[in-house]
Amino acid sequence: MSTTQTHPKAYADLLQHHRDASLLSSTASLLGWDQEVMMPPNGLAHRSNQLAQLAQLIHERSTDPRIADWLSACEADESLTADPRSDAAVNLREWRRDYDRATKLPAELVVELSQTTSRAKAEWAEARKADDYARFAPWLDQIIGLSKRQAECYGWPEEGEPWDALADGYEAGMTAAYVAGVFTPLREKLVVLVDRLMGSSTPPSNAFNELKLPIAQQEAFVRRVSAAVGFDYRSGRLDTSSHPFCSGTHHADIRLTTRFAEDNVNDALGSTLHETGHGLYEQGLPAEHLGTPRGSSVGLSIHESQSRLWENQVGRSRAFWTWCHPILVEHFGDAVAGLSADAVYAAANRVSPSLIRVEADEATYNLHIMIRFELERALLKGDLTAADLPSAWNEKYRDYLGVDVPSDAQGCLQDIHWSMGALGYFPTYTLGNLYSAQFFEAAAAELGNLPAMFAQGEFAPLLDWLRKNIHAPGNTYDSADLCEKVTGHPLTADPLLRHLEEKLLPIYGL
């Protein structure tokens, strides 16, 4: 059979095979969402078996020996690969990466990981609720052990470490050495900025952040804001969970969750805008490429850039609050009537070193990420045990943020990620912050006066720009290439530091 006959058939087979596998993955995603949001507690044992079975089926499809033959045939066909940015070449590049990675894991390890993390997530939630780290520690031990086995299967360069092998699954090519190189100078500059702000004699009032407001009204408020910035509720929904997240099955079924506390509407709004940013990205992916890499998001740092951009560059801007303040008064009436738009804006940007990452202000947030990065490196190297995690955590919070941790629920139990087996994940948050600031500067340079638009409730121009430049390309470019294509420059911390200083110093009278 000729090359021209063989290779298009091989590509069609690959396309169908991976779209079928994508259906299984989306089903697992929906079951995971249900476990966090709707499932009764007694359903856990059966749910873990369901997810394990799906994980096994997905792994079997991902490691099907026919994929190797199909890929080899397609990769030899220049009509498919000559243009590295063509739809076919992008799909083949990512399918090859995924296949090479998946075939390194034995099926029994995949099943064990799925069963363990499904149960560990539930145990984490209960341990956090009861402030009982001892309940979760054995599960973390298991996850660290399984993660080390994962890393050994993947392998890492001689000069690298186990963390690199896991991180590569979240952000292609990310290594601990690269992350440390980015984090060290950024940490030094952030510490100087935070110290300067904390030395101000005129910090903004915290009154807005301490108001007690009915949760039902908060939910209506954040839903309205989420819809106003562009989230399509015909293709998504908003619920509550202990740890806010964005999930779903495809671009037309996106599940957001947030959380509420009577005395912190700003946290609910920030969490909702954050997850809305993720949801907008998913809703903006090209529908015609559903189930393929070309129709998928880039690495997690780009995904995070979208959530942090809407949460911070938009939702914490003065222009946003010029528009949003009347809506706030409409929903909460006399309870907020005494607060001006400027007062709410200043309170939304108040800097205070704190315990909880998801409630952290922009200036201190990345310090939380740096702590987690260093701890999970130590866990994977064997320099730190699960039993010793609380004391190591508490020491770093004193050193980096100057705060004492009163309980494990407010300390090492606060994040869900390790219970999910997501080691190597956290630095994508800080990289996402850096990308978000750089993308926003590029959008402002092209679109003009974004603050004037936001003040009028006009968010569509920014969303359209993001759809064109970030969402529509899918996984055509890796994170670094996408950044350079869109902004004209490699990733740098300068835009983020400019954003923080230009906003926060005037708020603090500096």
Residues forming the active site: 275
Pairing of strands 236-240, 246-250: unpaired
Cα distance between residue 49 and residue 22, in whole Å: 20
According to DSSP, the residues that pair with 253 across neighbouring strands are: 250
Cα distance between residue 158 and residue 155, in whole Å: 9
**For residue 196, what are its two tokens?**
């300067």
Pairing of strands 236-240, 253-258: parallel
Task: Map residue 255 onto helix, strand or coil.
Answer: strand
Contact 233, 227 (CB under 8 A): yes
DSSP 217-254: HHHHHHHHHHHHHT--GGGEEEEE-SS--EEEEETTEE
Task: Map residue 256 onto helix, strand or coil.
Answer: strand
DSSP 346-412: HHHT-----S-GGG--HHHHHHHHHHHHHHHHHHHHTSS-GGGHHHHHHHHHHHHH------STTTT
Cα distance between residue 382 and residue 378, in whole Å: 6
DSSP 432-491: HHHHHHHHHHHHHHHH--HHHHHHTT--HHHHHHHIIIIITTTTSS-HHHHHHHHHSS--
Contact 233, 253 (CB under 8 A): no
Cα distance between residue 92 and residue 388, in whole Å: 44
